[in-house]
Chain A
Amino acid sequence: MTKTIVTLAASAVILAVGAGVAGAYDGTKCKAAGVCWEPKPGYPEKVAGSKYDPKHNPAELAKQQKSLDDQAARNAKRSAHFQKTGKWVYDVSKIQ
């Protein structure tokens, strides 16, 4: 494999580097501060619609946050009850 070595100029401002440097992804060619990823040669900029499309299901992607929100709601009930009564009751169905 061809190795492309890019020596980054010693400048804190890296944003302007980039556009015209050909070669494989070495992480130094930035479009903006902190935005330095680029597709590898032959691979897409966006995977949606490509052969590498993970085809994420929005319903699956929403499950984690739904669970965290539900956990937080139950915890809030437990803590409120605790502060009110001095008893920690884990089973929220037993909290009036």
Chain B
Amino acid sequence: MMKHLGKGLLAGASCAALMVAMGSASSSFANDKLNELSKSNENWVMPGKNYSSQNYSPNTQINTENVKQLRAAWSFSTGLLHGHEGTPLVVNGVMYVHTSFPNNTFALDLNDPGHILWQHKPKQDPAARSVACCDLVNRGLAYWPGDGKVPALIIKTQLDGHLVALNAETGEEYWKVENGDIKVGQTLTQAPYVIKDLALVGSSGAELGVRGHTTAYNVKTGEQVWRVYATGPDNEVGLADDFNSANPHYGQKGLGTGTWEGDAWKIGGGTNWGWYAYDPETNLFHYGSGNPAPWNETMRPGDNKWTMTIWGRDADTGKAKFGYQKTPHDEWDYAGVNVMILSEQTDKAGKKRKLLTHPDRNGIVYTLDRENGDLVSANKLDDTVNWVKQVDLKTGLPVRDPEFGTRMDHKGKEICPSAMGYHNQGHDSYDPTKELFFMGINHICMDWEPFMLPYRAGQFFVGATLWMYPGPKGDRQNYLGLGQIKAYNAISGDYKWEKMERFSVWGGTLATAGNLVFYGTLDGFIKARNSDTGELLWKYKLPSGVIGHPMTYEHKGTQYVAIMYGVGGWPGVGLVFDLQDPTAGLGAVGAFKNLQNYTQMGGGLQVFSLDGKNPYNDLSVGEFDTKG
């Protein structure tokens, strides 16, 4: 039965199961169950498929030999026009689809995907739209598998700052907490993340001076378990006693306030709205904190810790074992929130290590030992990166080129990457059999001119005017050649192959054991390349541009590939709001002024299979049946 929910703020909840067993005895059970579910080709239980966030499927049914036979199987319109980032989840034969604002959620029966099992349509304060930084996107959902007493839950974020748990079977609201307040600029766009019986969620709004935080809630009760901040006193940042003991040169105590002037850390940004990864063996989860606020660097002297930091935090307490700041005293909005992909590889010295690889906005792809934060490699995403000459692996410090620094009373020119980064929020993939990362890249540079402005809670607090344009390898005359796709080895630092794209590869990639890498493009194609060579093997034109990442699942013996379309996000902000000033949209409008000639708005999901095989090949499926 279809249920229309979210009619009011008073959320009814089924009683009996809720009143008992709010403890954490089953917490490891939830981990085990999610892990088990994630191993199946039939499931995609979190945005990166599993806790390692590899976006990799061992399924070989679709492969280099037959990918040309991929055809549309079925589709689903979300009914919304704005940008659709992220990817849907599939659990036990049900697909859960999220949308842009107002953040509707749909559950689809994969036996008959034309039948919406339930839908959750929250009523939000429309004012939330006015404090969203970059279109009205949302990056996805989390799934908690239930424990026999509390039902399985879908956890979602709303732009207005709420974190909501839904009964995965019925769509009813189970609990709903406030995790942000749009009146002071706090919003949510992130996909939440489940570890044990905790729902983790970050924060958005650094462009409004929001002080970033990460919070864990008990999935069974909605009770806050811990909260840590990116800036401020050590106890609020949540530093463990042995914080950075393996790398004291990264900095240790007292720097969350000591590297700021006065109370500037209170409005210092460092929000995190990107992707998380988790290692059940170390019990550490990893994510990146974002840019300091405001963008005008002259207004905030200091290293501005701990913005722009790769974290390794204990899942139970939130306490940080290590923190590595990639871009101290950011001058370019290289927000450090991008994907963290976990792998186990042998380093150059022959030592098997647990690694974390992170393609950063600042144009460097970092690989760290995720047990202690040791820097293993740090290479440029493209040889045109110019703000930094190199990253010193021993000190961890970027050696900046002062020519491309920014400051008041100065217009910086030809800075690469632009504020959008050479990589942004796209969820990339890793093929463990090839030890290759497949990365969607922006190829955009910029001019940057700061200006002074006061801080007023709930108002934009940026302080810079930007002009963006294609990087040196693009077509600057026609504003094309704004993206790349690359295959990268984090140990050797080599790129096995790379290809230019007309626009940014904004959404990320999917790798499969079929020797394939899939990704979507802003101009509305889904493409499949040979993951060994980069050869383009298949593509399909979607109704609108792509800013999310593909996923794959198997259902009743058939492998499907699914991708959300719906152009928007930061690169599409000019298109979706019909902006003309090239500096509008924080500089994106100029760079993507030609995007409107290749695609238009419209959100939905497109699913593919070999020869288009789908549940409706059985003509009786989905037909009206008087027997009910």
Contact = CB atoms under 8 A, between A and B. Distances in A.
Contacts of A79: 175, 177, 218, 221-224
Nearest to B306: A34
B612 interface: no
A87 B10 CA distance: 9
Given A33-B249, A86-B16, A54 B173 contact: no
Contacts of A5: 389
Interface string A36-58: 11011001111110001011111
Contacts of B174: 88
Main secondary structure of the interface of A (DSSP, over half): loop
A96 interface: no
- Choose among A13, A64, A71, A76 the residue with the greatest number of B CB atoms under 10 Å from its CB: A64
Interface residues of B, number: 80
Contacts of A24: 402, 405
Given A54-B455, A64-B210, A88-B175, A3 B403 contact: yes
Interface in B1-43: 9-19, 22
Contacts of B209: 64
Contacts of A58: 263
B328 A56 contact: no
B329 A90 contact: no
Contact of A25 (B266, B299, B400): B400
B210 A82 contact: no
- Choose among A47, A62, A74, A84 the residue with the greatest number of B CB atoms under 10 Å from its CB: A47
Interface string B429-462: 0000000000000000000000010111110000
B401 interface: yes
Interface residues of A, number: 66
B173 A88 contact: yes
B252 A47 contact: no
B329 A27 contact: yes
Interface in B314-338: 325, 328-329
Contact of A85 (B19, B222, B400): B19
Contacts of A85: 15, 19
Given A36-B397, A79-B175, A8 B184 contact: no
B183 A72 contact: no
Contacts of B11: 88-90
Contacts of B403: 1, 3
A-B residue pairs, 8 tightest by C-beta: A34-B251, A24-B402, A86-B15, A63-B457, A79-B223, A71-B178, A86-B18, A90-B9
Interface of A: 1, 3-8, 10-15, 23-28, 30, 32-37, 39-40, 43-48, 52, 54-58, 60-65, 67-68, 71-72, 74-76, 78-79, 82-91, 94
Given A3-B402, A94-B10, 7 more contacts: A37-B303, A39-B301, A40-B402, A52-B408, A61-B266, A64-B184, A88-B11
